[in-house]
Amino acid sequence: MEARLQELFTQAQHIVFLTGAGVSTPSGIPDYRSKNGLYTGHRNAEYYLSHACLTQEPETFYDYVEQNLYHPDAKPNVIHEKQAALTRENRATVITQNIDNLYNVAQCAHLIEFHGNMYQVYCQVCGAAVDWHEYLKDPHHKTDGGWLRPDVVLYDEGLNQLNVQRAVAAMAAADLVVVVGTSMRVYPFAGLLDYRNVQAPVVVINQEKLDLGMPIEMVQADATQFFTELQV
């Protein structure tokens, strides 16, 4: 860890972490677009994760998410833990594309789950929240027979506007923006960079070198190693 980078984190009071699947792969959760990613192995993955599939073929949707998107034994890793520790000091906000609940398990205090959370489930008929364990046993609501669904943003669906507003406000207030484990190619998440405080340095920690069309500090490295060395 370069002393200059450590100093950026030490001095910052309003860090925003923009994170993606690369944060959770060290916890054993597959990503989406790499060689062994979820989308690579399933040609129709984007359809299976669409609103159209949910409404037209609910059994197909359920089978796909039940088999591929639930990893209840996964544990947060050092990346989640160090970021969560900074949020509990009221010095950071995490805005994540991940839907795997690991930031909640890590007790992240300021968290925006931009695409929702697989472990928050509700009935599409009555709107009642249902424990995810029940969902994995049966996708029908015991009370009224309605189809249950996870509270995530599917293809063909709009984002939660409150999450968008909170994310934009956090970016505008940031004095350090840190991109971790994401290619920043998925919109509108990638567009959050357009709302950053332009005075805030942007640090990118990623295995793949990124060109974001703006001045960045590129740390092409294993994020687990970086966060293991980071003093918080």
Averaged confidence pLDDT in the chain: 94
pLDDT, tens digit, 9 for 90 and up, residues 215-229: 999 999 999 999 999
* Percent of the chain residues topping a pLDDT of 70: 95
CA distances from 18 to 13, 49, 99, 178, 184 (A): 16, 22, 14, 6, 9
Query: What are the E-state strand segments in the chain?
Result: 15-19, 92-96, 111-113, 116-123, 129-130, 148-152, 176-180, 202-206, 217-220
Q: In the structure, what pLDDT confidence band is assigned to residue 37 with cuts at 50, 70 and 90?
A: very low
Cβ distance 118 to 152 under 8 Å?
Answer: yes
How far is residue 189's CA from residue 153's CA, in Å, rounded to a whole number? 12
Instruction: Say if residue 41's pLDDT is above 70.
Output: no
pLDDT of res. 43: 56
Tell me the three state secondary structure of residue 231. Answer: coil
DSSP classification of residue 17: E
Question: Is residue 80 annotated as part of the catalytic site, yes or no?
Answer: no
Quote the tokens at residue 2.
């370069």
- Catalytic residue, chosen from 14, 80, 110, 115, is 115
Least Cα distance to 10 among 176, 172, 173 occurs for 176
Among candidates 65, 58, 68, which has minimal Cα distance to 124? 58
- Find the mean pLDDT for residues 6-27: 97
CA distance 19 to 93: 11
For the entire predicted model, the pTM comes to 0.93
Q: Record the tokens describing residue 79, joined without a space.
A: 């990346």
| CA distance linking residue 5 with residue 202, whole number of Å | 11
Q: What is the C-alpha to C-alpha distance for residues 199 and 184, in angstroms, rounded to an integer?
A: 20
- Residue 38's pLDDT is 55
pLDDT category of residue 30 using cuts at 50, 70 and 90: confident
pLDDT of 125-180, one tens digit each? 999 999 999 999 999 999 999 999 999 999 999 999 999 999 999 999 999 999 99
Looking at residue 25, its amino acid is T
Sign of CA dihedral 185, 174, 24, 130: negative
Instruction: Tell me the CA distances in angstroms from 44 to 40, 49, 166, one per residue in order.
Output: 9, 9, 32
The per-residue pLDDT for 32 is 64
Model confidence band, residue 57 (pLDDT cutoffs 50, 70, 90): very high
